[in-house]
Amino acid sequence: MVWLTDEIIFPKPDATSEEGVIALGGDLSEERLLLAYQNGIFPWYSDDDPIIWYCPPERMVLFPEELKVSKSMKKIIKKGSFTITENTAFEEVIFNCKHILRNDDFGTWITDDMEQAYINLHKKGIAKSIEIWFYDTNSKKEVLVGGLYGVDLGNGVFCGESMFSFISNASKLAFIYLVQNHKYKLIDCQVYNDHLASLGAREIPREVFLEML
């Protein structure tokens, strides 16, 4: 296993383990993160681990033309009960992605350092968010109830990082909005999960994904 140094460089994909680990260590600087995403690599680790960099053998992706919107979601969209914004509450979105309780514990990998690293990328216009708001009759104001964030590579590829939902279907609405209101050629969903599969995402071989990048 390759341990990264101060040099901003990653091993070639053929150095990846069976589990998809390509390197350990390094830092979460803007330059290193961008190089990682441009080469199909992303960080995924917990507070007790060194930074672990992944380039999995099977990549979960969504081709926008394959997006599946159920009849129930179409009704929700048509009803217009939610307000959808972009990049107006990035820090709130990543905070909620980090702290929301999940059955699969997928939120625990957003460490304090990672949270700050993506906030820094957002300030540079690279990391972006979609926010879903719902009018609360008690407080008489719009409340953030769902959203997602990720990295825009600027080449037609959006690398999704995480999403959250306090109200049923709010995160799905954010994802559908992202796909339908941008001209992305590919949405990188990283690893398989049923939630994204229900929206049309599927796995493709790493080699195919890297060629697309």
pLDDT digits (tens, 9 = 90+) for 10-25: 999 989 999 999 999 9
Mean pLDDT of 176-195: 95
Mean pLDDT of 69-98: 96
- pLDDT on residue 203: 98
Tokens of 2: 């390759």
Mean pLDDT of the chain: 94
Please report which residue ranges of 39-130 form alpha helices under DSSP H: 71-79, 90-99, 112-123
- Alpha-carbon Rg for the chain in angstroms: 17
| Domain(s) of CATH 3.30.70.3550: residues in the chain | 3-56
- pLDDT on residue 49: 87
- pLDDT on residue 102: 59
Out of 91-95, 104-108, 178-182, 184-188, least confident range: 104-108
pLDDT digits (tens, 9 = 90+) for 23-63: 999 999 999 999 999 999 999 998 888 999 999 999 999 99
CATH architecture of 3-56: 2-Layer Sandwich (3.30)
Measured distance CA(144)–CA(13) in Å, rounded: 39
Tokens of 117: 């690293």
| Domain(s) of CATH 3.40.630.70: residues in the chain | 60-212
- pLDDT on residue 109: 76
pLDDT digits (tens, 9 = 90+) for 91-146: 999 999 999 865 554 445 799 999 999 999 999 999 999 999 999 888 889 999 99
Q: Give buried/exposed letters for 9-43 (b at 16+ CB in 10 A, else e).
A: ebbebeebeeebbbbeebebeeebbbebbbbbbbb
Measured distance CA(88)–CA(92) in Å, rounded: 9
- Per the CB < 8 A criterion, the answer to whether 173 and 77 are in contact is yes
Measured distance CA(119)–CA(213) in Å, rounded: 24
The CA–CA distances, whole Å, from 32 to 4, 28, 59, 126, 189 equal 11, 6, 21, 13, 20
Amino acid at 52: I
Q: Name the band, by pLDDT with cuts 50, 70 and 90, for residue 212.
A: very high
> Could you tell me what percentage of the chain is helix, strand and coil, using 3-state DSSP and rounding each to the nearest 5?
30, 30, 40
CATH architecture of 60-212: 3-Layer(aba) Sandwich (3.40)
